[in-house]
Amino acid sequence: METKKRDGFNSRIGALLAIIGSAVGLGNLWRFPYVVGENGGGAFILVYLIIAFGLCTPLMMTELLIGRRGKSNVVGAFKAIDSKSKFYYSGYIFVLASFLILSFYSVVGGWVLHYLGESLTFSLSNLSSEDLTLHFKNLVSAPVRPLLLHFLFMFLTASVVIFGIEKGIEKMSKIFMPILFIFIVVLAIRSLTLPGAGQGLNFLFNIDFSKITMNTVFEALGQSFFSLSLGIGCIITYGSYMRSEENIMKSSIVVVSSDILFALIAGLAIIPAVFAFNFEPAAGPGLVFIVLPQIFSQIAGGSVFQIIFFFILFIAAITSSISLLETVVAYVVEELKITRRKATIYTSIIITIVGCFCALSEGALADFKLFGLNFFSLVETLASNILLPVGSIFIAIFASWVMKKEDVVEELSNYGTIKVKNLGYYFVIVKFVAPIAISFILIKYLLF
């Protein structure tokens, strides 16, 4: 009997761009600059680089190898690799985490769409700081608008996922990721050529070691995992679509480096401009929605740069949300045996409904609080601070304590056809350092 070939990436560049697309998102362009601003600039960046290269690259390799070896979704991959262990239960954590992250991520994606629309109609030009603060507050607390924007963003995400890997995700990444890169470089050049930008550069690259505290390390750990899409199952899912001839170690290095590069360029595009106009870099989540439009109003050609900025923020957000939806859809298609079309429609509808509660959490549902958190923050905390670290610990333990070492080496070396260096380092990190370091994050979040 002829079995249907599993959909997958058809080219190396397509696979890499899709994985980079998952990694590069709001985490890089929206969160990274203000987290750097709040945590002391260069000192934070140094810690971030060490964690991203030293700890996250081996974990990226691990997720890719589990996916490719299992050639299945986040539950099926564990079953396929070791049918006896109960580790496939951790797959349910990944499905839940992707589901929850997408439900609030798409709400922020909706805000980005709103700001893109406003930029295209030049409605943000020449508004004062108070006006822009009010504008942002009115948007997020409005009764209907955030819902409609969230629906639109989810609809766009689903419209790509429904076409599958090669014809949907790979194609979209090949078109949009290069555009994203070119535009962000253009913005960085504009920002760096503003008078007074040097102060921002100094802030980004001057390392004051006294600013490195335990908190800096925790912030950098959390930020790097989220930014690299680790611990959520997206990388396992994309790994399952990778061709057998791809070099997992090299691919991981390329993805981690690109993600860092995007975050740094985003920092270079935003922070020098913030300093040039005497704003505070530690402006929190409002940095891109409140501070940046004021800056764009003051520079020559600012309205065009503003359109470019919100357009790339949108691309970055949607390529990440696609990977989140794909993780859930792949599970539903393969484990619950329904067609991709139906799976995409049903899961998108359910995620959209849960997301509605997030979208309304600053408005109609502002009074609903649990542990002092509104619905949006509750879902974000549960997914990013609890499920993500738990998932990462399971992945590290599975690959280094449950899987046979020969199988891991076989997968990393493409059945001995390529040489893999530093395997000793890899195993020390995945077996000991990662589970211990991640347990600390978890304990910190649970206790403090």
The site for ligand PFF (CB under 6 A) is made up of: 22-23, 25-28, 98, 101, 226-227, 229, 232, 234, 320, 323-324
Q: What share of the chain is helix, strand, coil (3-state, %, to 5)?
A: 75, 0, 25
Residues near 355 by beta carbon (within 8 Å), at least 6 away in sequence: 102, 103, 104, 106, 107, 150, 154
Residue whose CB is less far from ligand PFF, 44 or 275: 44
CB of 97 to ligand PFF, least distance (A): 8
Q: Report in angstroms how near the CB of residue 310 gets to ligand PFF at its nearest.
A: 15
Q: With contact defined as beta carbons under 8 Å apart, do 118 and 124 qualify?
A: yes
Element counts in the chain: helices (H) and strands (E): 22, 0
Q: With CA atoms as reference, report the closest residue to 71 among 250, 232, 230, 236.
A: 236
Residue 242 neighbours by CB under 8 Å, 6+ apart:
8, 9, 15, 64, 67, 68, 248, 251
In the complex with ligand PFF, which residue's Cβ is closer, 101 or 429?
101
CB of 27 to ligand PFF, least distance (A): 2
Pick the closest to residue 327 from 66, 96, 10 (CA basis).
Answer: 96
Cβ nearer to ligand PFF, comparing 262 with 275: 262
Give the residues across from 370 on adjacent strands: 373
3 state DSSP class of 370 = strand
CB of 424 to ligand PFF, least distance (A): 29
Residue nearer to ligand PFF on the CB measure, 29 or 47: 29
Q: Of 381, 405, 10, which Cα lies nearest the Cα of 169?
A: 10
The residue (of 26 and 59) whose beta carbon lies closer to ligand PFF is 26
* DSSP string across 66-102: HHHHHTS-TTHHHHHH-SSSSTHHHHHHHHHHHHHHH
The minimum distance between CB 323 and ligand PFF, in angstroms, equals: 5
Q: Which is nearer to ligand PFF, 197 or 351 (CB)?
A: 351
- Cβ contacts of 213 within 8 Å, gap of 6 or more: none
Of 35 and 142, which has the nearer Cβ to ligand PFF?
Answer: 35
Q: In the bound complex, what is the minimum distance in angstroms from residue 107's beta carbon to ligand PFF?
A: 13
The least CB distance from residue 230 to ligand PFF, in Å, is 7
CA angle 67, 68, 74 (to 5 degrees): 20
Minimum distance, C-beta of residue 202 to ligand PFF, in the bound complex (Å): 26
Backbone Cα Rg of the chain: 21
Rounded Cα distance, 210 and 223, in Å = 21
CA distance 8 to 172: 14
CB closer to ligand PFF out of 101 and 160: 101
Q: Are 133 and 378 contacting, i.e. CB atoms less than 8 angstroms apart?
A: no
Measured from the CB atom, is 276 or 324 closer to ligand PFF?
324
Residue 21 C-beta: closest distance to ligand PFF, Å: 9
